[in-house]
C-alpha cells in the first residue's frame, strides 16, 4: 500500500469480529504504557474541539466548516488502529480525520473496526522525507494530534516533524502531543516517574499484556498473516530514546513557528502538550 492510499477505499481483508478482538486487546495492552489513557484521549479531544470550533475559526478568519465549504481537517499521528482518531471523528461531526501509522496490520484492523466515511486510515512513516505529501492533503490542517508515538523520534527528526506540521497548520491551528514527557528538573523527573508508577500499580495497569505478547498473539492468527510485516519491510524506525524534557519540546515547537506552547494535563511523566500556530 502506498503512502497516499487510504484503506477506506478497499474492502477489508479482516472480518469485523477479528478486528474487534484484536483492537480490544490492543487498547488493553496500551493501558500498560499510558497513565489514564482514556482521560488523556478526552483531554486531547477537548483541546482540539476548543481551538478549532466556530468561535476560534471566526477569530482567525479561517473556515468554520459550514455547509458551503470544507470541514475541519485533523491528523492523528502514530494512530495505531485509531481509537483517538475515531473519538475525534465522533466529537467533530464536520471534520475529516486521518489516522496515520506506518504499520499495515494496525491500519487494517482500524479500518475494519472503526470504518467511517469521515475517518481515513493512511500508511506513512512519520518524519520520512515527504511524509506529509503522501497523505493527499487538499487543504491546511486544523489540528494534528499524537499520543505515545512521537517519543521514538530523535531530536533532529522531531524538529523536522514539528516544522513540517507548523507549515501545514492553518493560523490558530493546534498540535497536541500526549506522551511521556519528563519535567526539566532531574529530581522532579524522578519524583514524577515514581508517582506515575505508583498510580499504574494502584490501577493494575501492569496486569495487562505487554507489547511483545500482543504481537506474538497476532502472529498466530491466520487471518492476520498477510498483514504482518515482511522480513524486507522497512517497518518503524528504531526508538532513539531521546527522552527530551518539556523545555526541549517547548524550544523545538517555538523554533518551528508555534506561538503558544504549554502543558494542559499531566500525571507523573504522562503529559498533554498543546502548541498553537
Give yes or no for residue 68 having a pLDDT over 50. no
Per the domain annotation, does 146 fall within a domain?
yes
The rounded distance, in Å, linking the Cα atoms of 261 and 243 is 18
Domains of the chain: total:
1
Question: Strands 96-101 and 260-267: what pairing?
Answer: unpaired
Q: What is the pLDDT of residues 130-139, one digit of tens each?
A: 999 989 999 9
Give yes or no for residue 231 having a pLDDT over 80. no
Per the domain annotation, does 108 fall within a domain?
yes
Q: In the chain, helix, strand, coil percent, each to 5?
A: 45, 20, 35
Per the domain annotation, does 1 fall within a domain?
no
Per the domain annotation, does 173 fall within a domain?
yes
The rounded distance, in Å, linking the Cα atoms of 144 and 130 is 17
**Block residue for cell numbers 465549504:** 69
Task: List the beta bridge partners of residue 261.
Answer: 275
CB 155 within 8 A of CB 248: yes
Per the domain annotation, does 2 fall within a domain?
no
Q: Show the cell assigned to 80.
A: 495505531
Per the domain annotation, does 176 fall within a domain?
yes
Q: What is the pLDDT of residues 110-156, one digit of tens each?
A: 999 998 888 999 999 999 989 999 899 999 999 999 999 998 899 99
Task: List the beta bridge partners of residue 121.
Answer: 99
The rounded distance, in Å, linking the Cα atoms of 121 and 5 is 8
Q: Look at the alpha carbons of 33, 39, 41, 43 in this order and tell me if their dihedral is positive or negative.
A: negative
CATH number for the domain harbouring residue 161: 3.40.50.150
Give yes or no for residue 234 having a pLDDT over 50. no
Confidence (pLDDT) at 59: 44
DSSP assigned state of 244: -
Contacts of 155 (CB under 8 A, 6+ apart): 240, 242, 244, 248, 252
The rounded distance, in Å, linking the Cα atoms of 232 and 152 is 21
**67: closest CA among 43, 47, 36, 94?**
94
Query: In whole angstroms, how large is the CA radius of gyration of the chain?
Result: 18
Q: What is the largest CA-CA distance in the chain?
A: 54
pLDDT band at 57 (very low <50, low <70, confident <90, very high): low
The rounded distance, in Å, linking the Cα atoms of 145 and 175 is 6
Which structural domain range is residue 24 located in? Answer: 7-276
Per the domain annotation, does 171 fall within a domain?
yes
Q: What is the 3-state secondary structure (H, E, C) of 154-166?
A: CHHHHHHHHHHHH
Q: Show the cell assigned to 253.
A: 515547537
Amino acid at each position: 500500500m502506498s503512502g497516499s492510499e487510504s484503506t477506506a477505499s478497499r474492502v477489508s481483508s479482516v472480518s469485523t469480529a477479528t478486528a474487534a478482538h484484536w483492537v480490544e486487546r490492543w487498547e488493553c495492552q496500551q493501558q500498560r504504557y499510558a497513565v489514564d489513557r482514556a482521560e488523556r484521549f478526552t483531554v486531547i479531544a477537548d483541546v482540539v474541539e476548543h481551538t478549532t470550533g466556530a468561535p476560534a475559526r471566526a477569530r482567525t478568519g479561517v473556515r468554520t466548516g459550514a455547509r458551503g465549504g470544507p470541514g475541519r481537517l485533523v491528523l492523528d499521528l502514530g494512530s495505531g488502529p485509531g481509537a483517538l482518531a475515531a473519538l475525534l471523528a465522533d466529537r467533530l461531526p464536520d471534520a475529516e480525520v486521518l489516522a496515520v501509522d506506518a504499520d499495515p496490520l494496525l491500519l487494517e484492523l482500524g479500518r475494519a473496526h472503526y470504518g467511517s466515511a469521515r475517518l481515513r486510515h493512511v500508511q506513512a512513516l512519520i518524519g520520512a522525507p515527504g511524509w506529509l505529501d503522501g497523505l493527499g492533503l487538499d487543504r491546511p490542517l486544523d489540528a494534528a494530534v499524537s499520543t505515545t508515538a512521537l517519543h521514538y523520534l530523535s531530536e533532529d527528526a522531531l524538529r523536522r516533524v514539528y516544522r513540517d506540521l507548523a507549515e501545514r497548520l492553518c493560523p490558530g491551528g493546534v498540535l497536541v502531543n500526549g506522551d511521556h514527557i519528563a519535567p526539566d528538573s532531574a529530581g522532579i523527573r524522578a519524583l514524577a516517574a515514581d508517582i506515575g508508577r505508583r498510580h499504574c500499580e494502584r490501577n493494575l495497569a501492569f496486569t495487562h499484556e505487554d507489547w511483545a505478547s500482543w504481537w506474538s498473539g497476532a502472529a498466530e492468527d491466520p487471518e492476520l498473516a498477510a498483514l504482518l510485516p515482511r522480513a524486507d519491510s522497512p517497518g518503524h524506525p528504531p526508538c532513539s530514546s531521546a527522552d527530551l524534557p518539556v523545555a526541549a519540546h517547548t524550544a523545538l515547537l517555538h523554533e518551528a513557528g508555534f506561538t503558544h506552547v504549554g502543558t494542559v494535563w499531566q500525571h507523573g511523566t504522562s503529559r498533554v502538550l498543546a502548541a498553537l500556530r
